[in-house]
Structure 1
Amino acid sequence: AARLGATLLLERLDALIRRGRLAETSTDRSSPLTAREQEVLLLLALGRSNRQIGEELYITGKTASVHVSNILAKLGAASRTEAVAIAYRQGLITREETVG
């Protein structure tokens, strides 16, 4: 899908992989975030609200809010935007993951 430039298909495949938790577990121990926090961070970078994050990950908006708060604390960020900027700088997310 990526090679063909089928971005809508790629987004839907990524969402399916996240919902089914089919993604390989990262062996990179340098990330301070849990696997679920990484998923939430990626959706933050895509500009999703807590409610939207909850819908995409099949959790409540409140649970998404808790994950966001944990991400902010772990990255030492004061805002969602700052957390995403820090995550880019630290290599926790890449441009390829967030281009939609």
Structure 2
Amino acid sequence: LAEALLAAGRRAEAADEAGRAHREAGRLGATPLRERLDDLLRRARPAETGDRAASLTARERDVLRLLALGRSNRQIGEELFITAKTASVHVSNILAKLEAASRTEAVAVAYRQGLITPETAGSG
């Protein structure tokens, strides 16, 4: 039910439903189910993840697109006409805003949240 609610864009209801299921899965010791529900809860919480992602600047979105293409800070800088250090600062800001521990995780989060798509990543 929580997945269906999330797919319908009803994030708050999806989070409530997933929270109830998560508590019950914990009570039953259903660890694999709890792990899947953890992921669903992360996707359903608009105030935490969605708002942070929406706060990316246009330049950070440009940098994120290049990250998805596997570019280094130097390559990002060259393509966007900024220094590698400035690119590094943008990457750090992206990691913080998306609550990601690595460049790879940031790209994965961005794909999941629809910030980038394979088409936009490949168009540059």
TM-score by length of 2: 0.55
Residue 9 of structure 1 corresponds to which residue in structure 2? none
Residues in 1 aligned to 2:81 and 2:57: alpha-carbon distance in whole angstroms? 17
Residue 75 of structure 1 corresponds to which residue in structure 2? 98
Q: Report the Cα offset of residue 58 of structure 1.
A: 0.3
Residues in 1 aligned to 2:109 and 2:116: alpha-carbon distance in whole angstroms? 9
Residues in 1 aligned to 2:111 and 2:94: alpha-carbon distance in whole angstroms? 13
Residues in 1 aligned to 2:57 and 2:82: alpha-carbon distance in whole angstroms? 16
Residue 58 of structure 1 corresponds to which residue in structure 2? 81
Q: Deviations over 1:38-65 (max 9, x none)?
A: 0000000000000000000000000000
> Relative contact order (C-alpha < 8 Å, sep 6+): which is higher?
1
**Higher gyration radius (CA):** 2
TM-score by length of 1: 0.68
More helix by share: 2
- Structure 1, unaligned runs of 5 or more: 1-28
- Structure 2, unaligned runs of 5 or more: 1-50
Give the percent of matched residue pairs that are identical in Structure 1 and Structure 2: 78
Q: Which runs of 4+ in 1 moved over 4 A?
A: none
Residues in 1 aligned to 2:117 and 2:74: alpha-carbon distance in whole angstroms? 23
Superposed CA RMSD: 1.5
Matches within 5 A, 1:4-43: 31-43=54-66
